[in-house]
Amino acid sequence: MSAVIDVQVAQKDFGGAPVLGPLRLALASGETVALVGASGCGKSTLLRILAGLDADFRGAVHVDGRAVHGVQREVGFIFQEPRLFPWLSVADNIAFGSGRPGREDQRVGTLLEEVGLTGLQDRLPKQLSGGQAQRVAIARGLYARPRVLLLDEPFSAVDAFTRMKLQDLLASLAQAHGISVLLVTHDVEEAVLLADRVLVLAARPGRVQAEVAVDLPRPRQREHPGLLPLRARVLAALHDAHAF
C-alpha cells in the first residue's frame, strides 16, 4: 500500500548536536501510528517536520509521493493545548483561515455535531471545559479535510474520564473520515488502544528502536485481553530504549 505521507530525516540538529535521525516513517491511508519514547527523544520535533513547521533538517517529506515544503492543507496538526483564539467564537475558531464566518458555514455545523458540541457554536473558549476546548481543536484540525492528522499528546491535560471519551472520539472520527493519524503520547495504554502500529523512539539522537504491530479488530474495547501482552511488549521496548 502506498504511503500518504513519508518522511526521511537524515539528521536534525539543535545547537550543533544531533537530536533526530537517521529515521524514516511512512503512514498508509487510514492507518493510525503512535509514537512513544522518553522526553527529549524527538517525537514533537518529528511532528513539526511533518507539519511543515520546521524545515531546518537534512531529509525530505513526501505527501502522496510528492515532495512538499512548508505547511500543507493535506496535513492537520492538533497541539497538546487547544490553542483557541480567545476572542473568537467556537464556530469561528473552527473555520479560522477560511475567510468566512463560522456560524454561516455548513461544514462547521457538521463538525460540531461529529465532536458532540452541537449548540455551542457561539460560545467563547473561556466558556468551555478543557475537554470541550480540545473537541473544538479536533474539529478545527478536520475542517480543511486533511489526509493526515498529527496529534502531539492531545489528551494529556484533561482528566482520566474525559481522556477516555476523547480517545473514543478520535478513533471514531479517524475511521469516519478515512484519515491517517500520527499520535505522540506518553500513555502506553492509549498507544495500543488507538494505533495499528506503535513506534518506540530511542534518544540521542531520536530514531526508531522498535515497532509493535497491533493486530486487533476495531472498534476496540479497553477490556480486550489482547491489549495486555501488547502493552508489555511496548514497555519492554521502552525499557530497552532507556526511556525509564
- Average pLDDT for the chain: 94
Domain ranges in the chain are 3-74+149-240, 85-145
Cα first-last separation, the chain: 35
pLDDT at 112 over 90: yes
> What pLDDT is stored for residue 228 in this prediction?
96
pLDDT > 70: percent of the chain: 100
Instruction: Give CA–CA dist 197/216, Å, rounded.
Output: 11
Instruction: Give CA–CA dist 223/56, Å, rounded.
Output: 43
> What pLDDT is stored for residue 99 in this prediction?
80
- Tell me, which fold does domain 3-74+149-240 have in CATH? Rossmann fold (3.40.50)
pLDDT digits (tens, 9 = 90+) for 193-240: 999 999 999 988 999 999 999 999 988 999 999 999 999 999 999 998
> What pLDDT is stored for residue 97 in this prediction?
78
> What pLDDT is stored for residue 1 in this prediction?
59
| Torsion (CA) 12, 70, 172, 104 in degrees, nearest 10 | 150
| 1/129: higher pLDDT | 129
Instruction: Give CA–CA dist 24/40, Å, rounded.
Output: 18
Residue 84 buriedness (CB in 10 A; 0-12 / 13-18 / 19+): buried
pLDDT digits (tens, 9 = 90+) for 166-184: 999 999 999 999 999 999 9
Contact 15, 219 (CB under 8 A): no
